[in-house]
Structure 1
């Protein structure tokens, strides 16, 4: 069965292996002895998927029959695409639309032209160069890169490159790129309706407290209304993993809404405790 060398190496690793292979084919002494032995073992596999051109044999990387680029140019594009994917993972949060007032600053490392790439270049490359869950089912590197941008430069940003534990970084990367953190909600589905009703309850209680206890010192949940649905999801998810009890510690902000809608404390009990003690005298 024919196999593609990039099926075994992903992301920047694929570009690096191809670069070593080009050096080895030009001059076997250009790489160290151990690497030369490994490349010699890989050579038959690589040559199963090669395309002949005027410069010898270059690895075939899922290209349309009408496109037979120079092997060196193809290698450069593959490395550039892998570097672009890595930059999106590291700096994509700088272009995420998380501020409704100011546009994101962005970063030059997220642009195709920084790497001398075009959309056509990415369309000729395989998705394996990008790696991760986003390349599964992608037609080419362009589609995989776009999926990666949707994850890191969309309505949320992920910045985990500062973590020193490689296992933690790998876990967060897989969780983010597989949409484990951002599951799609059907706007007309039951979950969306449930979320809307939850937020309405939060807002109604907040407005009532503001009118009924005008001037009373309290810590509003305004601006962090999603705290209640988020806590809902945490508790529901915990129950799925057989968690029997949850200890909740929080700041003052939004505590009345949390007590009412997460801890199910009666409105009457909350209002009685919240009222001025002198009001009953």
Structure 2
């Protein structure tokens, strides 16, 4: 009898079902057996769905043993890549002392996305990672963003800037290709910086000094930056910095004669500086140097007061004046470099004021290269007691500028 039923018989079957619910014995044995085995639900007594409801907030579980679909795989890989660009700096090895042990964020783990070994060899099609397997993509992301250089740039609103940075870093794994001559130059500059500090410590025992020890890599960094600027047409560089490392910069970057620096250490002209304290750390100097490409670059380290950060707006003002005098409307011929301590950069309000003014038409100089030396202690204060932000440079995210965190060792 049931074989003769079709969709038009639904009303008839529903009526029989209701009768079955009221009195199963009112139906013949064949219908009783049918409803008992296939329809009647002793718990719900309804025709409700026999599967668990799902939605975008409660997605169905992945079947055991099934692999990710191509669309699902690409979507999750896109999220993985974006999270590395945003959060990869958390995993970067930035502390030479090993005092900070960073935990890997969940969103940077493959298991967070449900990937397993079956997915590792699948090919990715996503921008700079196209053509690589999932396993290779994961390793490349860690090499780019989690090695000894951490990068914060996803706060930049301009897509073209972000895209340029992504391609530049991810295609090279954030490594700079240096030829043999460049490597020797870096070694020479690093050696000069170390020898200078060691000589001062041995020659002037017990004399108050603001050493660059531990951050000697600042010297080759400045040297390479100035050389690169010269190649791009910069004719003047104005630097500003506080006390730490100042003499090293004067000697090895500005080329101030070391004889003159040591004479100031000896207080040979003490009577001329009575009441001026550690005067040698306040003095500036200017000099013309010749770059490797043969161009003349005028170098100037600004005179500095005892205040740690007042020199930063002074440097910007000097650069703006020089640009105006050179009729440099594109503001590409004079470079500003400001060197800070980490505690002063986040702790002094003048830094925020300078950053805030920097993009206004009346103050714009087309950017400043800021170098923050992380001492891991601000005079006598540890980082966790001196700032609420994770990094001392977090204040710089108010501008559309990338921030690179570099392990100086």
- TM-score of the aligned structures, taking structure 2 as reference length: 0.46
Distance 1:118 1:234 in 2: 44
| 8 Å CA contact retained: 1:81, 1:117 | no
What's the offset of the Cα at 1:206? 0.5
Distance 1:212 1:279 in 2: 19
Q: How does 1:166-185 map to 2 (within 5 A)?
A: 166-179=159-172, 182-185=175-178
Q: CA offsets, 1:211-266, max 9 Å, x none?
A: 22222222111121011100001110011111111111122211111111111111
Q: Secondary structure at the match of 2:236?
A: coil
Greater helix fraction, Structure 1 or Structure 2: 1
Distance 1:161 1:208 in 2: 44
Greater strand fraction, Structure 1 or Structure 2: 2
Paired residues in the alignment total 206
Q: CA offsets, 1:35-72, max 9 Å, x none?
A: xxxxxxxxxxxxxxxxxxxxxxxxxxxxxxxxxx9897
Corresponding residue of 2:111? 113
| 8 Å CA contact retained: 2:92, 2:149 | yes
| 8 Å CA contact retained: 2:67, 2:119 | no
Distance 2:217 2:145 in 1: 21
1:89 equivalent in alignment to 2:85? yes
What's the offset of the Cα at 1:185? 4.4
What's the Cα RMSD here? 2.7
Distance 1:83 1:181, change over 3 A: closer
- TM-score of the aligned structures, taking structure 1 as reference length: 0.65
Segments of structure 2 that go 5 or more residues without pairing to the other structure are 1-64, 272-409
Q: How does 1:262-277 map to 2 (within 5 A)?
A: 262-277=253-268
Distance 2:177 2:102 in 1: 23
Q: Secondary structure at the match of 2:240?
A: coil
1:244 equivalent in alignment to 2:235? yes
Q: How does 1:54-203 map to 2 (within 5 A)?
A: 73-100=69-96, 101=98, 102-126=100-124, 128-129=125-126, 131-132=127-128, 134-135=129-130, 138-179=131-172, 182-185=175-178, 189-203=180-194
Distance 1:262 1:72, change over 3 A: closer
What's the offset of the Cα at 1:115? 0.3
